[in-house]
Structure 1
Amino acid sequence: MTFEWPLMLWLLLVVPALVLLYWLILRKRQRAAVRYASLGLVQEALGRGHQWRRHVPPLLFLLSLTVMIASISRPVATVYLPLQQDAVILAMDVSGSMRATDVEPNRLQAAQAAAKTFLEGLPARTKVGIVSFAATASVVQAPTSSREDLVAAIDRFQLQRGTAIGSGLIVSLATIFPDAGIDVSRLIYGAANASNENDANAPLGSREGPKREFTPVEPGSYTSAVVILLTDGQRTTGPDPLEAAKMVADRGVRVYTVGVGTKEGSNIGFEGWSMRVRLDEESLKKIAEMTRGEYFYAGNAVDLKKIYETLNARISMEKRQTEVTALFAALAALLATLAAALSLWWHHRVF
């Protein structure tokens, strides 16, 4: 905890001075008590009987004063606050290696099941978009709050060859900012293949209007949308994932990366062909770091579900430096009121 006006904390020196004054008053009352003939008055002055009761109200008052001084010093604390996400983009790897069975029943089915569980935990108002990527990337479901449409889109995944992690990030970014003029086709395929304005099946962004200038913002500062990127391999084609991550970071969008499968790598075979797949954890960690997100490793289906549960909490709440003066002031008022009430109840006077 920090304070906006720390010099005001010097006022806390008043508290020990008041403690000393209280002790001196008690000593004076004890010395004066012997002048009275009434034994009851002497016992009351000496504090016998319910001795502890007479000290409780002053103690509560001193605590109230301490908290009050702390409040005028404008305390600032790190607290968790609800975060209103307008959109969450699930960018999921559908490369052929996702049929590997090291994550039961296989990587793809485990990822699909975990994604559906993730959707159930999100607030109903949160829109979710789904991007799939292999050799290229595409939007399989535009951001929507319809959980039925999202589940249907997840069930439609078709495995393909290649792993273009950078393409998945670029398409996810263009989905979040559809009016930003992001030329997805040029970024993914290069200038030679960018002129497909009349192609109805052209990738998202290839028919965009003129590019719009924008000023890069602080990474992680855009709180209205996040990207959750899941992959089990390393880039084999498409743009550099780190360059794509730089674009995402410049627009302030966080990327939470999830690596699923075997860290050491394994051979995957299907219909006469085989390939060696290895999880590129280093790149996924850098993507998360550049965008102020977080990297998670899922070695099995249980881990994957737990990760999505954790992500639910991450994107629903955020840590923020917030001034808590009002809370301190309320606590000080409560302590002062309690001190006065107990004093009236026990001693029929306020202190």
Structure 2
Amino acid sequence: MFFLWPRLLWLTLTLAAVLPLAYWWLLRRRARSAVRWSHLGIARAAMQGRQWRRHVPPAIVMLACVLLAFAAARPVARVLLPWSKSTIMLAMDVSLSMRVPDVKPTRMQAAQQAAKQFLQELPKHVEVGLVTFAGSSQVAQRATLDREALAATIDGIQMQWGTAVGSAIVVCLAELFPDQGIDVGTMTFGGRPSAARSLDDRAKPPPKEVKPVAPGSYDSAAIILLSDGRRTTGVDTLAAAKMAADRGVRIYVIGLGTVDGPAAYGEGFAIYMQLDEPTLREVARMTGGEYHYAGTAEQLRGVYQHLGSRVQVQVRETEVTGLLTLVAALLVVCAGVLSMVWFGRIV
């Protein structure tokens, strides 16, 4: 914890020392004067050995005053905000190369099983969305807390030709920042919107100028990118990574499959099935994320377990002045209620 106005802490210390002394002085002064009982209930309480009650409401009020002085110093604490939204976008490669069985039973089935296990182990308050990509990229499931719906969507994945890694990153960013007017179609077609536009698509706002922030500084969301090949179409991968880095979004990259490509498919086709590790590592580095290679199903499950412990809602710094002020107000009300119940008057 730290304070925005630390000089006011002297007021807290002063009140903590002066208020008890002032109260003790008032009691001494009252003791010297003639004892006057204004209420029979007070006298009866004193005769029954309950004089300690008369000190409780003033003590609570003094505590409230000290708490208010402490709040005036504007303390900032590192707390977990339960109402803060946390989102993970899972971008999965669904290109036809994912049917290769070098990761048993196949790359796709291993990825599906590991992803569903990851969803089960992730904290329940974290929303997860699913983006699939091959020759194009689309939102298969918007961010939701419904793990069963996500698992069903993962099971229903259909594989296609092509690998648009960069487009998948852009689509994830468009889901995380819907008010920024990010349009993967415009980026893909060189500034011209795609002709294949659904009538259900809402008109997107014009792109907003984004002031770059420190990579990895956006704690409310992250992207997990799983791919087994290299980009063959769509937005440039590093350009998309730059967009994520400028917005502070970390990308955790999982490289799946064989780095040299499966030899059974021949030299002409295997190059598109080779894992482009240099580019994927650069994506993770640029965004402040991590790169993990998963050559087997066991390694893939281990990577997801590791990410499950890293990609969560992070503790954030927030000013707690309002909360402390509310507590002080409740203490004053409590003191007034006790005084009315015990003595029939307000302190």
TM-score (norm 1): 0.63
Q: CA offsets per residue over residues 322-341 of structure 1, 9 Å max, x none?
A: xxxxxxxxxxxxxxxxxxxx
Q: Is 1:286 aligned with 2:285?
A: no
After superposing the two structures, state which structure 1 stretch, 81-90 or 285-294, moved more: 81-90
Shift of 1:220: 0.5
Shift of 1:125: 1.3
Root-mean-square deviation (Å): 2.7
Q: Is 1:102 aligned with 2:102?
A: yes
Amino acid at match of 2:248: G
Give the secondary-structure state (helix, strand or coil) at the position aligned to 1:315. Answer: coil
TM-score (norm 2): 0.63
Give the secondary-structure state (helix, strand or coil) at the position aligned to 2:180. Answer: coil
Contact map agreement 1:268 1:274 (CA 8 A) in 2: no
- Cα separation, partners in 2 of 1:82 and 1:103, compared to 1, 3 Å: farther
Shift of 1:189: 2.9
Partner Cα distance (1:110, 1:201) in 2: 34
Partner Cα distance (1:295, 1:320) in 2: 25
Shift of 1:318: 5.7
Which residue is equivalent to 1:170?
A: 170
Which residue is equivalent to 1:253?
A: 249
Q: CA offsets per residue over residues 305-346 of structure 1, 9 Å max, x none?
A: 00000000111376999xxxxxxxxxxxxxxxxxxxxxxxxx
Amino acid at match of 1:139: V
Q: CA offsets per residue over residues 246-303 of structure 1, 9 Å max, x none?
A: 0010000000000000012124659xx9544100010110000000000000010000
Q: Residues 179-194 of structure 1: matches in 2 within 5 Å?
A: 179-194=179-194
- Cα separation, partners in 2 of 1:210 and 1:320, compared to 1, 3 Å: closer
Amino acid at match of 2:245: A
Shift of 1:225: 0.4
Shift of 1:241: 0.3
Q: CA offsets per residue over residues 134-191 of structure 1, 9 Å max, x none?
A: 0110000000000011001101111111111001100011111112111221012333
Of the three residues 226, 236, 245, the one matched with 2:232 is 236
Shift of 1:192: 3.5
Which residue is equivalent to 2:153?
A: 153
Q: Residues 216-231 of structure 1: matches in 2 within 5 Å?
A: 216-231=212-227
Partner Cα distance (2:91, 2:189) in 1: 19
Instruction: Name the count of aligned residue pairs.
Output: 238
Percent identity over the alignment? 47
Q: Residues 1-351 of structure 1: matches in 2 within 5 Å?
A: 86-194=86-194, 199-200=198-199, 207-267=203-263, 275-276=270-271, 277-316=273-312
Give the secondary-structure state (helix, strand or coil) at the position aligned to 1:296. Answer: strand
Shift of 1:227: 0.1
Give the secondary-structure state (helix, strand or coil) at the position aligned to 2:208. Answer: coil
> Runs of at least 4 residues of structure 1 off by over 3 A?
81-85, 192-197, 267-270, 273-276, 317-321
Amino acid at match of 1:115: A
Amino acid at match of 1:171: V
- Cα separation, partners in 2 of 1:126 and 1:222, compared to 1, 3 Å: same
Gaps of 5+ in 2: 1-77, 318-347
- Cα separation, partners in 2 of 1:191 and 1:316, compared to 1, 3 Å: closer
Partner Cα distance (1:268, 1:231) in 2: 20
Amino acid at match of 2:251: V
Question: Which structure has greater strand proportion?
Answer: 1
Gaps of 5+ in 1: 1-78, 322-351
Which residue is equivalent to 2:336?
A: none
Amino acid at match of 2:261: G
Partner Cα distance (2:219, 2:154) in 1: 25
Contact map agreement 1:267 1:274 (CA 8 A) in 2: no
